Homo-oligomer: A and B are copies of this chain.
Amino acid sequence: MAVRVQVEDFDLGMELKQLTDGNHAIGGLCSFVGLVRDMTKTDDGEMTRSAAMTLEHYPGMTEKMLERIETEAHERWPLESSLIIHRYGRMDAGEQIVLVAASSAHREAAFEACHFLIDWLKTKAPFWKVEEDESGKENWVEARDSDDQATERWNKN
């Protein structure tokens, strides 16, 4: 179990390798990486090119919430290892923003836990995105109903 909140990019291959190295009880590792897209939705709902985005967070509360989300995943599924890395600061299109990963003896637990980690993180971790369009104008990204629904899904268990 580990949570990291950092400005620096991460080495996806190395991070995933460390989650399984030496643990032969692991049958499956599921991971999800979120990346900066170069398209963004404006206030009028139009899609437009975005040059970059900046992620702001609430130091202290962020780590606390991410640790709680990870702990919750371990309580719900029999996991062998897990990891959450979330970056903040300015990022260009194509850059990695977030990594969540979970391993287990069986694939279903790994998949569900990984999906749960990103769904909960999306509505419970205090991060905010501001996107810059090509003219340099900043737009604060609005929370999406679909993210609330994705979080809801895990309450029905």
Chain B residues, Cβ within 8 Å of A23 = 94
Number of this chain's copies in the complex: 2
Minimum C-beta distance from A155 to chain B (A): 17
- Asked whether A93 is an interface residue with its Cβ less than 8 Å from the other chain, the reply is yes
Instruction: Place the interface of chain A in its size category.
Output: 35 or more
Within 8 A of B (CB), among A91-120: 93-94, 105, 107-108, 110-111, 114-115, 118
Is A28 an interface residue, CB under 8 A from the partner?
yes
A28 with B39, Cβ < 8 A, contacts A13-B12, A22-B94, A94-B22 known:
no
Instruction: For the complex, give the distance between the alpha carbons of A50 and B90 in Å.
Output: 48
Which residues in A have some Cβ–Cβ distance to B below 8 Å? Answer: 11-14, 16-17, 20-39, 93-94, 105, 107-108, 110-111, 114-115, 118, 146, 150
